[in-house]
Amino acid sequence: MSSDNTRSKIASATTSRRASRKNTLNSQKGIVLFALSLMMPLTLTACSSGSEASSGGADDVVVLRMSHFMPAPSAMNVEIFEPWAKKIEEESNGRIKIENFPGSTLTKPADTYEAVVNGRVDIGIQLQGYTSGRFPLSQIAELPGLSNSAAQMGCLMQTLYDDGTIASEYEDSHVISLYGLGPGVLHSTKLIAKPDDMKGLRIRRPSAVAGDIIESMGAAPVGLPATDIYTSLQRGVIDGLSLPWDGVPIFRVNELVKNHTNIPLYSSSIVMNMNKAKYDALPPDLQKVIDDNSGMVLAQKVGAMLTEDDIEALQAAKDAGDTIVDIPDPLNDPAWAGLLKQGTQKYLDSVNQNGVDADAVYDKVKAASAACKGA
């Protein structure tokens, strides 16, 4: 689903990176249960140390608690968040220490952004779609046909923030970066080859945007975080889900689902934010350390990794013999186009009802999408 340009950029590094990741994840999995058993006392310690740390002098150590929903052994945690925290510590000469709390051990997935705003944690990572109605302009970028890869989506989101199109939605915190996931496709217990096959199915949706699209096809959207997917599939609470390919092995969907409809149904974005007062209290040289590792630089790094992960997870499903239906361009597919456009307009209309010119924002998003196509 990624562009040929994106594939060529990452292809040369894929083999060595896969081997490195396997070694890393194997060692991490061996200790993850032990680490999680220690997490609650660590949380109490972190809260104490974070509140006592000062940023007033050059010799003070600023302790920042970072919370996110990705599992500890996931590639996102191992290859992005942990190295990012280490880089901040090194470039600050040890004056900033970031304590990483993965797997929703410190905040719930849907509460993380507000927890940062309120100062309960210092840095958070959350899907905007987890809090319905909180980021309506940002979620316009999630509509079908605007992004074909995580790299493009990350570039798109960061561009929209940098040019001010969606910046007003984040004024209550300091944004470190906005990045994107790959297109959300369908994974189901029943094969979905055409829209009619979705009628009556209960499909997990991560956001209101995805929910509108799913509902337009006759399915019942079920809102739940990615961390609840596995048990919901096991218990028959849902018949399928919408999720980017990289999430299939992360949340063990591949253990329970063998049918995949490879259609770019929607895209999700994620915000990484920092408590505004905490950032403002840092001396300028430490703010610069954060800034140098923020914005488009981070969005592009995440996008490149997730694009590769999508490719690898799709190939793994093929190698496992799963049934895969490819619908690469649904907006120009007679069976799918009308319903996807109907779902798109439904979301835009809902935003317009709040006194916002969603159609004008949609035009800006489409322009940014075109500019980021080669990302």
* Structure confidence at residue 59 (pLDDT): 64
Q: Do the Cβ atoms of 125 and 112 come closer than 8 Å? A: yes
pTM of the model: 0.80
Dist CA 134 CA 161 (whole Å): 15
Going by C-alpha positions, the residue among 271, 312, 316 that lies closest to residue 294 is 271
> Which positions ≥6 away from 255 have C-beta within 8 Å?
230
Dist CA 369 CA 264 (whole Å): 15
Could you read off the pLDDT of 33-87 as tens digits, one per residue?
A: 333 343 333 333 334 344 334 444 556 899 999 999 999 999 899 999 999 999 9
Q: What's the mean per-residue pLDDT of the chain? A: 86
Place of tokens 């906005």: 178
Dist CA 313 CA 52 (whole Å): 43
Dist CA 180 CA 369 (whole Å): 12
CATH code of residue 358: 3.40.190.170
Could you read off the pLDDT of 317-329 as tens digits, one per residue?
A: 999 999 999 999 9
Going by C-alpha positions, the residue among 368, 77, 87 that lies closest to residue 246 is 77
Place of tokens 């186009």: 337
What is the count of structural domains for the chain? 1
Domain of residue 295 covers 4-371
In DSSP terms, 324 is beta-bridged to: 260
Section 26-31 average pLDDT: 42
Q: Do the Cβ atoms of 180 and 152 come closer than 8 Å? A: yes
**Backbone torsion region of residue 92, taken as left when φ is above 0, otherwise alpha when ψ lies between -120 and 50, otherwise beta:** alpha
* Structure confidence at residue 227 (pLDDT): 85
In DSSP terms, 99 is beta-bridged to: 65
* Structure confidence at residue 25 (pLDDT): 41
Going by C-alpha positions, the residue among 278, 297, 62, 101 that lies closest to residue 172 is 278
Dist CA 213 CA 42 (whole Å): 41
In DSSP terms, 123 is beta-bridged to: 66, 274
